[in-house]
Structure 1
Amino acid sequence: MIVTMILNGKKITDEIAADMTLFDFVRKHGCYSVKCGCETTNCGLCTVFLDDTPVLSCAMLAARAEGRRVETLEGLQKEAEEFGSFIADQGAEQCGFCNPGMIMNAIALFRENPEPTDEEIKQYLAGNLCRCSGYEGQLRGMHAFIEYKKNGGAACGK
């Protein structure tokens, strides 16, 4: 079957097997930030945006993205770098494996709610697996990023 979608701003048309996942499709097209850690929708490592909504690409058929817009971390470099530096400053990227999914979901959260509470952050990121840091560093990094944004992008203690 032939599928066409916009991947990180570029129109891609490709012949795929009917059972190809969106995860396999984006990886085939060079989006290596997208990882698959569980294949059971429990880790969040495969998160991509489908028309601006975070989805787990390991659980979605590529054919379902026909005619739609898919974004990965590679397509969100400016937002990812800006936020990712706050995570790094808190030592929350020990192995780095969870970072792409965590950053994708954090970007989605901040787009939806620029000033989330701790409970909202925890709820939004509940599906992201991080085995190294216990999430405290990510939470501190998110708070620092929120303050940075409140100050109009001016560094505060950074």
Structure 2
Amino acid sequence: MPSAKIPPKTKPRPWIPHLMLPWAITIALAMPVPARPLSTSPSNQSSAITLRSDIQEANAKTGVVTARGNVQILYPAREIRAAAAQAQYFSRERRIVLTGNVSVIQSGNSLQAEIVTYLIDEGRFIAQPLENSQVLSIYIVPEAEATDSTAIPRLNLPSNQP
């Protein structure tokens, strides 16, 4: 009875994982990442900031999210809507820098500038215009309700009645 030949042991090929690594990285980078609000924990849903744009990049080391192209920001907790060509969210400093034809609306008030920095913790906007241009702000000034102290004084005229 002829004996079956046992194949000789093959040497391990250490170079194979090196060929597979670039493919794995390419596939991982090509996979789309779904857009989501900047703050997504359930307890922070009321203070979530939603960022939409054509392109977004996030750097985990620096904590900076960069959005480019048709950028839209929605921050319902503070009644803020904004649009710009680019936005950068600096998560560690808790600030957002909008650049390129920036338009911000908050509670009916509006702001237009080339660069707007929003300091989240302070709730403060810092606006800068293009060179040889100006920042435009439009504020809604509510009408003061007449109270006894601000009402038009009434004249006490003598009546013709006895």
Q: In which range does the TM-score fall when normalised by the shorter chain?
A: under 0.3
What TM-score do you get using the length of structure 1 for normalisation? Answer: 0.27
Q: Which has the higher contact order (CA 8 A, sep 6+)?
A: 1
The structure whose residues are more often strand, as a share, is 2
Q: In terms of Rg, which structure is larger?
A: 2
The structure whose residues are more often helix, as a share, is 1
